[in-house]
Amino acid sequence: MAQPSDISSASRNEALTPLPDSARAFGWHDHVSLWFSLGVGLLVMQVGAYLVPAVGTQAAAAAIVIGSCVGAGLLAWTARLGCESGLASAGLMHATYGSAFARLPVLLNIVQLVGWTTFEIVIMREGTQAIGKQAFGLALDSTLGTLLTTLLWGAVLLALLAGSMVRLVRRFVRRFGLPLVVISLAWLTWQFGGQLAAKGFGAFWSRTGDGTMGMFGALDLVIAMPVSWLPLVADYARHGKRSAGALGSAFSGTWVGYVVANIWCYALGVMVVSAADTGTGLVTALLLAQGGLLALGLILIDELDNAYGDVYSGAVSTHSLLPRRSVKQWGLLIGVLCIALAMVLPMHALERFLLLLSSVFVPLYGVILGRLGIGAAPSGIGTHRVDWGAATIWIVGIALYHGLADWAPQLGSALPTLALTFVTAWLSRPTPESDASALAQNRG
């Protein structure tokens, strides 16, 4: 049982305290706008560009649609749980794994969010360098140019972190950012669709893969992108107004926003790599398209949302461990750390990085959804320190994920691991009677 000091600390901990209804501002359109914006990015297009040479166009299209629907469904389910409970992601981990053991996945989440933010800064920097070279003939890939472009995007990120997350979503993302990004994606789709039509759409559609990746491997890679957002979604969904509907605005808004953006960006990556000349990089191909300079610039600005989303959620998770500093203070400190890391770390082991994250967070959230996702949402983080059953299922799930990748790669890893951890966690969930008995024994 948690000690009184632990309970007192949790009550002062913003990340572990359910957000009251009076403090919630997000409606359906806010959820859609936020998750469409977070689903758009050069990183998603680059992963889409990896699929076609490996599995071919038709298999890539199937993997994109199925993987996006499944991955966005997991996000939406977790969003519903966060909205109904009012708990942040760290709170859901505490409610599932216990207040002591939950510190491990919370810490892993912080590490991966620092990595994602650093990667986003690198993506924005390299996009800026490509624009500078293409449009103005500037050699921004020099040491000085790399320093200046990194600091430029870092300064903008820190300025956003100094403000309010709710106001950023409602005033900028929903009103201005979303329409501009949709226009950019539509323009690029029109341009590269025209190029593919000129080359012969039939040849593009019938293109086969080189066999370096199977269908389930492609599904794993597609699902890895939405799964990387799983440890963040409740941090935003808890700000949503409760809905009288069966699923709620947080569920439907998150699913619609993310699935449309994810399918669109993956498909655009496939189109770009198929239309471009052999050896042409994604960013270069985008720049060479008519109007591509402006469209890429708007997408880079939207990439700031992704970096901001990572840092904000990382700050909420860090605050859950060290609540003496506010979420805003932790956000600024994490932002400075990521700017520094972007200057020194090599950030291009993309596929391995994505799949490694999936191996941790697919079973982690399989257990959370199995324990908390069916029935009434938890009203707090509970009093137990370690739920050994949930912890064991998670660890076994990680081992299964890697074992399947080695022993049966044709089956994929994400979907079997998710199914097993969810079912096992649901079947082994404590009953109210067993909870009451354990609490009585602890008090006795």
What tens digit of pLDDT does each residue of 201-236 get?
888 999 988 888 888 888 988 988 898 899 999 999
Whether the pLDDT of residue 12 is over 80: the answer is no
Model confidence, pTM = 0.88
- Residues of 323-359 as b/e, b for ≥16 C-beta within 10 angstroms? beeebbebbbbbbeebbebbbeeebeeebebbbbbbb
CA distance 255 to 257: 6
Mean pLDDT value across residues 151-168? 91
Domains, the chain: 34-350 (1.10.4160.10)
**Average pLDDT over all residues of the chain:** 86
Mean pLDDT value across residues 108-112? 91
Mean pLDDT value across residues 141-145? 87
Which tokens go with 423?
């079912």
Q: Who has greater pLDDT, 49 or 254?
A: 254
Mean pLDDT value across residues 71-90? 94
CA distance 146 to 142: 6
Q: Decide: 37 and 177 in contact? Cβ < 8 Å.
A: yes
At 256 the pLDDT is: 96
Which three-class secondary structure state does DSSP give residue 431? coil
At 80 the pLDDT is: 93
Q: 26 φ, ψ to 5°?
A: -80, 130
Give per-residue pLDDT as tens, 388-442: 999 999 999 999 999 998 888 878 888 899 999 999 999 998 765 544 443 333 3
Integer angstrom CA distances of residue 321 from 14, 16, 32, 93, 310: 11, 10, 30, 12, 17
At 439 the pLDDT is: 34
Residue 379's pLDDT band, with cuts at 50, 70 and 90, is low
CA distance 35 to 38: 5
Taking alpha carbons only, the member of 305, 304, 310, 299 closest to residue 42 is: 299
Instruction: Specify the amino acid at residue 97.
Output: Y
First to last CA, the chain: 11
- Going by the DSSP 8-state scheme, the letter that residue 170 receives in this structure is I
Question: For residue 42, with 0-12 CB atoms within 10 Å meaning exposed, 13-18 middle and 19 or more buried, which class applies?
Answer: buried
Q: Which residues are CB-neighbours of 387 under 8 A, at least 6 positions away?
A: 96, 97, 98, 101
At 406 the pLDDT is: 87
Q: Which helix (H) or strand (E) holds 143?
A: helix 143-161
CA distance 419 to 370: 10
Whether the pLDDT of residue 10 is over 70: the answer is no
DSSP string, 241-292: PP-SSSS-HHHHHHHHHHHHHHHHHHHHHHHHHHHSPTT--HHHHHHHSTTH
